[in-house]
Amino acid sequence: MKELDIQATTENLPQVLAFVDEEIEKADCPMKVQMQIDMAVEEIFINIANYAYIPDVGPAQIRVEVQEDPLSVVLSFIDHGKPYDPLAKDDPDVTLSAEERKIGGLGIFLAKKSMDEINYEYKDGHNILTMKKRL
C-alpha cells in the first residue's frame, strides 16, 4: 500500500491524481478504468478540499492498494474534518432535466456509478471513504 499525505486544497488535485495514476499504471490498469477512477478521485478529493475544514485548510491522506485476486485497486481518503457521509444523501433524480434537479449530489452519484464499491465510516475522529474498482 502506498500513502500520500497532502493538504486538502483544490490546487493539490493534480498531485493527488498523479500519485493515484502512478500506482494504478503499475498494475496495467486499462485507460477506460483509469479515467473512471480519476473522475471518482477528483470528486472525493475536491469535496474534502471544499468542505471538510471550512474555513480552514487541513490534511488529507490518500492510500492506494492494488489487490491481486481479483485484480483491483482500493483507494482510501482519510481526513479529520467535519464528520460527513456523502453516501447518506439520496441519489439525484437523473430522469429530471438539469433545471428541475436540486443542486448537488451529482458528483458523488457519478463516483458511485463508476466504482464497484464505495464505503464510508467515521472512526476515531476521522472521515474514511474507501472505494474499490476491479481492473
* pLDDT per residue as tens digits for the range 77-99: 999 999 999 888 765 555 656 56
pLDDT above 90 (res 105): no
Query: What does the pLDDT read at residue 100?
Result: 61
Structural domain including 73 reads 2-134
The whole-model pTM stands at 0.90
DSSP the chain: -EEEEEE--GGGHHHHHHHHHHHHHTTT--HHHHHHHHHHHHHHHHHIIIIITTTS--EEEEEEEEETTTTEEEEEEEE-SS---TTSSPPP-TTS-TTTSPSS-HHHHHHHHHSSEEEEEEETTEEEEEEEEE-
Percent of the residues in the chain that have a pLDDT greater than 90, as a whole number: 75
pLDDT at position 109, please? Answer: 79
The residue length of the chain stands at 135
Q: What is the domain count for the chain? A: 1
pLDDT tens digits for range 21-72: 999 999 999 999 999 999 999 999 999 999 999 999 999 999 999 999 899 9
Residue 119 sits in a domain whose CATH number is 3.30.565.10
